[in-house]
């Protein structure tokens, strides 16, 4: 159910559509989707990846998002309990949405960053859910430092390549993530995210039908920052 909500949110925010109005509808013929054709995972398999209304293909990202959300909730249930379980599950939903919107649309919406920031403040400074034992001062200083560094890298890339290398959404995202990691864990997170981004670019170059220079390929760095934070939080519970 949460995976279905996440998938719908990714599609709507990615296409600048309202989250609060209209039921789910077919993006091809605009017909409202009946609830029994909108059951997470099951409907995709039952309909054989084709819409019932106009027989158009259903994008693979719907079952991928629904399935990955289910897996992450299962990991949360295994690693956390009580208030921590609720908070980490909400955090997971926000990070999954950020991951897939940036992955498919290269966007990081401010509304998601605001929700992420509010949850971060509540989790770290009220409920003391801090897997990396970072002090308040260290968290704030690391946040400012990481944003300045990433912003500087983006500006340097813009000057050298005459094109934007890092969006300001990435800068704001790393500022919030740094409140979790502090200085001690941030370098590890950046290395993991960078490895994911490099792998993404390498695979994209191999799958591309056109000959594109590696330097001209883009990777959704915000997606991999979000994923890396979740991975490190889970590893901290081992």
Q: 69-76 — which CB contacts under 8 Å span 24+ positions?
A: 69/2, 69/3, 69/6, 69/93, 69/96, 70/2, 70/3, 70/40, 70/41, 72/96, 72/230, 73/2, 75/234
Candidate ranges 2-6, 55-59, 116-120; pick with highest mean pLDDT: 116-120
Token couple for 38: 């909108």
CA distance 85 to 101: 24
Residue 24, SS3? Answer: coil
CA distance 56 to 87: 38
Q: How confident is the model over 151-199, as pLDDT tens digits?
A: 888 787 777 766 666 677 889 999 999 999 999 999 999 999 999 998 9
Candidate ranges 55-59, 79-83, 138-142, 162-166; pick with highest mean pLDDT: 138-142
Q: Shortest CA distance to 92 belongs to which of 119, 111, 130?
A: 119
Helices (H), the chain: 2-14, 42-46, 61-79, 82-105, 110-125, 136-161, 168-207, 221-236
Domain extents in the chain: 1-79, 81-238
CA distance 44 to 40: 7
pLDDT of residue 143: 93
φ/ψ (deg, to 5) at 49: 65, 25
In order of 29, 160, 169, 196, the CA distances from 156 in angstroms are 45, 6, 17, 22
pLDDT of residue 169: 86
Judged by average pLDDT, the poorest of 68-82, 176-190, 194-208 is: 194-208
Q: Do residues 54 and 29 lie in contact, with contact meaning Cβ atoms separated by under 8 Å?
A: yes
Q: How confident is the model at residue 41 (pLDDT cuts 50, 70, 90)?
A: confident
pLDDT of residue 154: 79
CA distance 162 to 170: 18
Within 8 A by CB and 6+ apart from 135, the residues are 182
pLDDT of residue 142: 93
Q: How confident is the model at residue 112 (pLDDT cuts 50, 70, 90)?
A: very high
User: What does pTM read for this prediction?
Assistant: 0.88
Please say if the pLDDT value at position 212 is more than 70: no
Q: How many CB atoms lie within 10 A of CB 33?
A: 15
Q: Do residues 91 and 73 lie in contact, with contact meaning Cβ atoms separated by under 8 Å?
A: no
Q: State the Cα angle at 97 between 94 and 98, rounded to 5°.
A: 85
Q: How confident is the model at residue 211 (pLDDT cuts 50, 70, 90)?
A: low
């Amino acid at each position: 159910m949460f995976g279905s909500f996440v998938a719908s949110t990714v599609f709507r925010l990615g296409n600048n559509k309202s989250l609060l109005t209209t039921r789910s509808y077919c993006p091809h013929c605009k017909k409202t989707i009946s609830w029994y054709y909108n059951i997470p995972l099951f409907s995709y398999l039952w309909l054989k990846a084709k819409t019932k209304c106009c027989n158009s293909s259903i994008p693979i990202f719907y079952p991928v998002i629904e399935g990955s959300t289910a897996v992450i909730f299962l990991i949360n249930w295994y690693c956390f309990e009580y208030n921590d379980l609720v908070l980490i599950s909400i955090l997971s939903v926000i990070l999954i949405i950020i991951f897939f919107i940036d992955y498919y649309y290269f966007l990081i919406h401010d509304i998601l960053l605001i929700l992420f920031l509010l949850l971060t403040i509540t989790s770290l400074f009220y409920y003391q859910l801090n897997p990396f034992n970072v002090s308040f001062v260290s968290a704030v200083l690391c946040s400012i430092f990481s944003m300045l560094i990433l912003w500087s890298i983006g500006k340097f890339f813009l000057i050298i390549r005459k094109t934007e290398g890092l969006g300001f959404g990435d800068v704001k995202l790393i500022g919030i993530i740094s409140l979790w990691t502090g200085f001690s864990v941030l370098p590890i997170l950046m290395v993991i995210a960078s490895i994911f981004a490099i792998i993404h670019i390498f695979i994209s170059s191999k799958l591309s039908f056109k000959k594109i220079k590696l330097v001209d390929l883009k990777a959704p760095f915000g997606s991999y920052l979000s994923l890396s934070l979740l991975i490190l939080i889970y590893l901290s519970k081992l």
